[in-house]
Amino acid sequence: MYQRESAEASDDSQDECKPTRISPVCEPISPLMCIAPTTSSQSELHSPSTRVMQNFIIVRLDANTNENSKSFQKFLAQLRKSYTTLEEFNNVDKCIEYIKSVNDEKIFLITSGSLGEKMVPIIHDLAQLHSIFIYCQNTAHHKGWAKQWPKITGVHSATDSISKRLPKFIRESDQDTISMSFIPKSIMSEASLKQQNLIKLEPTYQCSVLFKQIILETDDDDTKCMEDFVAYCCQCQESASKFTTEEFKHQYKEKSPVWWYTSATFICSILNRAQQMSDMKAMLKMTFFIQDLHHQLKLLHEQQSSDFSQQFIVYRSQRFSQEDFQHLSNANGGLMSFNNFLSTTKEKPVVKEFAKRVLHTNNKIVSVIFMMTIDPNKISPSKTPFARIDNDSAFRQENEILFTIHTVFHVNKIKEIGHQNRLHEVYLTIADDNDPQLAAINSHLIEKIDGNGWHRMSELMLQVGFFRQAEELYNELLKNASNDKERALIYKTLGKAKLEQQEYQQAA
């Protein structure tokens, strides 16, 4: 039986209108891998030279960096071990400059009360700033001004309360970055008439369809793939700890894939970012884990089959930018896919309260409550497994149901329910595996791509204009090429990728 560790989550600051979760341990659990943090110089702005692998950055601001208590130093050491990127500052201006420079990641700020009081009014409304944790001893004074700012999670006098809450907020942020693709009704109509035009399909959807097929068809050596993934992570960071690398290798099989995915570790974040950025090199390295989690969901689904004999509804809250919500609106009457693993719950009231609360943290976002109707009799458990994961999850959320990658839904209706057109209910129905329109789109897509396995993915990425990603993937395939003919073909295609990027010397 897989091991699980848990400890009750803290509830010592603002009330949380979200599912009750349990943190794996009292302090953030170590990701047990070889990634060392990128740490800023405390007197000047630091721009990380390494490849960012997660969707978030933890920023710490404190003028007295050398005078913190032993407990806080221990807390920082745990952060450095647990998360791939930790930026530290003792200067407000430099910290603000850095936060403003971040475009693609979410910032979790840990600051002292006095510096936070000066800084928060300047940065609070920045889209990249997700949450603020105030750490100080004079909590009475700082709780007063902190109440004005919704992104402040609370004023904390002990590191334990931050340790328990930070993983939960990071997981919520990760869930908001899940890759989605949309197929408008007009393309569905063309599919019915057998007039499919792949140019009109979102590239992310095309890659997601093919990626899932590759995942279901390949069966690689888990141990070697896991070691390749760890080595890749080490190469992406400036420093590596051999100790934590070995720790990860030894502990991976001791816990279930569901536990790793839901725990406060690197897996979920790296996977979400790779999907979001169409980083197929990272996806290739993570194939072993995606397959393991898919197979565990399949096994759990079989064990729970009697619980899913009838149609049921699950819910999910999601934050959208105005632009992304417009893409969703355009898909009304069409289809949408969640390209990564999809976390849902049966608890609608909790989801609704959370959807309302997050509106106060950013006045430019749209909050959506997905209401998903699931008919278990219309889907294949081998292709689209889902399961209740309460007993295996590191964060015990009652009635949490996890779906495999690339689960497709019909978008039936979008209903505005308040907050000045910023809160909506979106009614979805899971797509039948035998749906003729969906089958026509997918089969047409697959037939248009030559090759096999990951070579097909590289070819598709060239077709949709992801030239840099295709180049990275071809370079990985080159390392494992089995003969000169295969190597020659890869070199030829690499030249094409370089030409498309106008790198003519390298293409020669």
Model confidence at 20, pLDDT cuts 50, 70, 90, reads very low
CB atoms within 10 A of CB 44: 9
Task: Write down the residue that tokens 């334990």 correspond to.
Answer: 160
- The C-alpha atoms of residue 463 and residue 483 are separated, in whole angstroms, by 25
Quick one: how far is CA 107 from the chain centroid? 14
Rg (CA), the chain: 23
The predicted structure's pLDDT at residue 506: 66
Beta bridge partners of 369: 317, 425
Considering only CA atoms, which of 433, 379, 444 is closest in space to residue 210?
A: 444
Residue 237: pLDDT over 60: no
Q: Which residues contact 194 (CB under 8 A, 6 or more apart)?
A: 440
Do the beta carbons of residue 445 and residue 212 sit within 8 Å? no
The predicted structure's pLDDT at residue 507: 58
The predicted structure's pLDDT at residue 7: 33
Beta bridge partners of 427: 371, 413
Lookup: tokens for 427? 């009614």
The larger pLDDT score, comparing residue 390 to residue 17, is at: 390
Helix (H) or strand (E) holding 242: helix 242-251
The predicted structure's pLDDT at residue 65: 60
Model confidence at 34, pLDDT cuts 50, 70, 90, reads very low
Model confidence at 43, pLDDT cuts 50, 70, 90, reads very low
Q: What are phi and psi of 402, to 5 degrees?
A: -110, 130
Task: Write down the residue that tokens 């490849």 correspond to.
Answer: 51
Helix (H) or strand (E) holding 281: helix 280-285
Most confident of 278-292, 321-335, 458-472: 321-335
